[in-house]
């Protein structure tokens, strides 16, 4: 019998989306893409700075990776680029290995992601338990919140360490160096981001006089149009103007990085060697694993909110792989699907990958035209935007005592264990330990479903009923059956009723062989009746059926 490995077909969703594409759909995509492109600008800079990189690394990642993920991906509306989930990971890699090795690890992760999609492993990511996803997502959100306190408060700290406890210690001993102007900008940014979405919609909370003023403002056409501008853009522009206009003594992109270089990103091959790649196995796997999980989770969210045809997970992983391989060649950082920008894209009217391409081109145009203005952006404002992102990223209600009491013990162990491992150690350790623990808990639950029931002892017949799955985690439950047979009168016929036996693996088969040997040792005969298709096929293929018919024992265990 011949077999072949089935590879995924490389067919971007863009090809199907262009069928019947018309001007009306293009105008919707154009508006949505331009909106998301503007939203992505402050986030891209903030993610890069928080990751220990220059702001242009985030911007060019959003442009290049965002274009490639939209053009080659398997989702109709997903927006790709730098993501908050990567901040802690990238910062740790930069601290330990340096920026040059981060570029190599990202490119290698891109190769892994492409191979995962090519070999149809996209669906396997869906099998990661939701408790693990919530645990590491909340852990990463917590680390983001802690990491942004330095710039949000304007603390004078030359270099922040990578691990959480060292960061907390460093923040505590430098708390007296806070900058009141930076604190004011940071607080104003954060408060504005929380209030902006409902400022002109739910005005009753502000008191009667303020309510009347806001209602009058809401009636103005210009104000109504302005209220649709995304909050991060409003915060970035308004607070930058305040800082620049009053010459506030706060740290900006210009004072720390010298601004953003004008013109196109430069292509440069990193110094590649197999020795370096071997040293970067752990960060490479971390970037690939997180990129795969985040991108496919984001694509699933996009399916739910857009109502468009479901995404192709394998094609999406291949696109993510190409994007993460190419972006480092231009100094970029890891990229993945971004839920906030994707949802913004959908709500703005996107209906095809053209919107994602427009988003990347919009970013490119803004950078080429307005790059010199970025030097005035206060870092406290970018930190406030990231605090807002980190807060919205976490699913904090899952930690409420009420929900935890309702959840199963296994769910609580997995979620809280993954959260604490992410915070205390790192994401790789957390996900690896979480998946191993999830497998162990699953084996234990499945083993509890298997049972052996003795239903009759009427000489010369002894009958047992088998229920559930007889696999390696439950095979030991056959020991009492062997002991019961050894105590039974000689010459008995033992019947195993397998009507409710749904699965049998090789370890379970070895257990049945032990039962058979015990029966033969007592001079009896073993019959297995009412077998389901899978257990029957396993017994026939292994030769155990012939052993039962001939009444001979099977091979000795090694």
Which one is predicted more confidently, 183 or 208?
183
Question: 127-166: per-residue pLDDT in tens?
Answer: 788 888 889 889 988 998 999 999 999 999 988 887 888 9
Residues 458 and 420 both lie in one domain = no
Give dist(CA 290, CA 92) in Å, integer: 14
**H-helix or E-strand containing 470?**
strand 461-470
Sign of CA pseudo-dihedral 516, 518, 523, 529: negative
Give dist(CA 326, CA 321) in Å, integer: 9
Residues 433 and 311 both lie in one domain = no
- For residue 222, being part of any structural domain is answered with yes
Residues 343 and 486 both lie in one domain = no
State the average pLDDT over residues 63-75: 96
Residues 192 and 294 both lie in one domain = yes
Q: Give yes or no for a contact between 164 and 462, defined as CB atoms under 8 angstroms apart.
A: no
Residues 102 and 193 both lie in one domain = yes
**H-helix or E-strand containing 133?**
helix 130-147
**CA angle 471-474-475, nearest 5°?**
75
- For residue 555, being part of any structural domain is answered with no
Residue in the structure block whose two tokens are 């338990």: 129
Give dist(CA 224, CA 211) in Å, integer: 16
Take residue 443 and report the two structure tokens written for it.
């084996």
Residues 238 and 348 both lie in one domain = yes
Residues 227 and 309 both lie in one domain = yes
Q: Give yes or no for a contact between 509 and 544, defined as CB atoms under 8 angstroms apart.
A: yes
Q: What's the pTM?
A: 0.81
Cα 555 to Cα 478, 517, 552, 558: the distances in Å are 19, 10, 10, 9
Residue 40 has pLDDT above 80, yes or no: yes
Residues 316 and 226 both lie in one domain = yes
- For residue 18, being part of any structural domain is answered with no
**CA angle 56-58-60, nearest 5°?**
65
**What is the pairing mode between strands 336-337 and 80-81?**
antiparallel
Question: 226-244: per-residue pLDDT in tens?
Answer: 556 778 888 899 999 999 9
Give dist(CA 549, CA 172) in Å, integer: 77
Partners of 467 in the β-ladder: 451, 500
State the average pLDDT over residues 39-64: 93
- For residue 14, being part of any structural domain is answered with no
- For residue 518, being part of any structural domain is answered with yes
Angle between helices 281-306 and 99-118 (to 10 degrees): 60
Question: 148-158: per-residue pLDDT in tens?
Answer: 999 999 999 98
Q: How many domains does the structure of the chain reveal?
A: 3
Take residue 182 and report the two structure tokens written for it.
């930076």
For the chain, give the percent of residues with pLDDT over 70: 93
Question: 92-132: per-residue pLDDT in tens?
Answer: 899 999 999 999 999 999 999 999 999 999 888 777 888 88
- The predicted pLDDT at position 2 comes to 41
Residue 476 gets the label, from left (phi > 0), alpha (psi -120 to 50) or beta, of alpha
| Number of neighbours of residue 171 by Cβ within 10 angstroms | 17
- For residue 32, being part of any structural domain is answered with yes
Residues 516 and 417 both lie in one domain = no
Residues 46 and 84 both lie in one domain = yes
Residues 416 and 504 both lie in one domain = no
- For residue 105, being part of any structural domain is answered with yes
Range of the domain at 503: 450-550
Partners of 466 in the β-ladder: 452
- For residue 5, being part of any structural domain is answered with no
Residues 351 and 333 both lie in one domain = yes
The CATH code of the domain that includes 506 is 3.30.750.24
Nearest C-alpha neighbor of 291 from the set 69, 489, 480: 69
């Amino acid at each position: 019998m011949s077999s072949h490995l089935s590879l995924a077909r490389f067919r971007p969703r863009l090809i199907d989306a262009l069928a019947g594409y018309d001007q009306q759909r293009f105008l919707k995509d154009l508006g949505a893409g331009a909106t998301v492109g503007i939203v992505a600008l402050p986030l891209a800079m903030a993610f890069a700075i928080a990751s220990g990189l220059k702001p242009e690394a985030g911007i060019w990642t959003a442009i290049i990776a965002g274009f490639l993920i939209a053009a080659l991906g398997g989702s109709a509306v997903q927006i790709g680029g730098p993501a908050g989930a990567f901040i802690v990971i990238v910062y740790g890699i930069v601290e330990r290995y340096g920026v040059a090795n981060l570029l190599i690890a990202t490119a290698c992760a891109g190769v892994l992601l492409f191979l995962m999609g090519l070999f149809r492993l996209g669906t396997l990511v869906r099998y990661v338990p939701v408790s693990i996803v919530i645990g590491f997502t909340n852990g990463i959100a917590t680390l983001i919140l802690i990491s942004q306190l330095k710039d949000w408060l304007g603390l004078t700290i030359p270099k922040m360490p990578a691990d959480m406890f060292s960061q907390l210690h460093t923040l505590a001993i430098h708390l007296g160096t806070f900058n009141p102007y930076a604190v004011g900008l940071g607080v104003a940014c954060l408060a504005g981001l929380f209030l902006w979405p409902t400022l002109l919609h739910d005005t009753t909370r502000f008191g009667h006089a303020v309510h009347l003023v806001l209602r009058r403002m809401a009636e103005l056409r210009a104000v109504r149009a302005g209220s649709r501008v995304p909050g991060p853009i409003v915060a970035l522009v308004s607070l930058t103007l305040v800082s620049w206009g009053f010459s506030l003594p706060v740290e900006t992109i210009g004072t720390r990085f010298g601004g953003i270089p004008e013109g196109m990103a430069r292509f440069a091959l990193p110094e590649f060697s197999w020795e370096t790649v071997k040293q970067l196995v752990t960060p490479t796997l971390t970037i690939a694993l997180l990129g795969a999980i985040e991108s496919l989770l984001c694509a699933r969210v996009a399916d739910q909110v857009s109502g468009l045809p479901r995404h192709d997970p394998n094609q999406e992983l291949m696109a993510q792989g190409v994007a993460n391989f190419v972006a480092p060649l231009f100094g970029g950082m890891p990229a993945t699907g971004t839920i906030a920008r994707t949802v913004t894209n959908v709500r703005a009217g996107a209906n095809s990958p053209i919107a994602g391409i427009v988003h990347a081109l919009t970013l490119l145009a803004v950078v080429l035209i307005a790059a010199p203005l970025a030097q005035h952006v206060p870092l406290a404002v970018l930190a406030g935007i990231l605090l807002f992102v980190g807060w919205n990223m976490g699913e904090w209600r899952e930690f409420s005592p009420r929900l935890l009491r309702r959840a199963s013990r296994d769910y609580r162990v997995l979620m809280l264990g993954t959260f604490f491992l992410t915070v205390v150690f790192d994401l790789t350790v957390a996900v690896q330990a979480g998946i191993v623990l999830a497998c162990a808990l699953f084996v234990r639950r499945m083993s509890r479903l298997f049972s052996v029931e003795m239903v009759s002892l009427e000489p010369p017949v002894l009958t047992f009923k088998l229920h559930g799955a007889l696999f390696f985690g439950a095979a030991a439950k056959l020991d009492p059956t062997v002991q019961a047979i050894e105590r039974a009168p000689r010459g008995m016929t033992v019947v195993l009723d397998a009507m409710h036996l749904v699965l049998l693996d090789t370890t379970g088969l070895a257990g049945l062989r032990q039962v058979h040997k015990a029966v033969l040792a007592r001079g009896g005969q073993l019959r297995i009746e009412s077998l389901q298709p899978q257990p029957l096929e396993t017994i026939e293929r292994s030769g155990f059926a012939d052993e039962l018919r001939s009444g001979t024992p099977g091979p000795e265990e090694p």
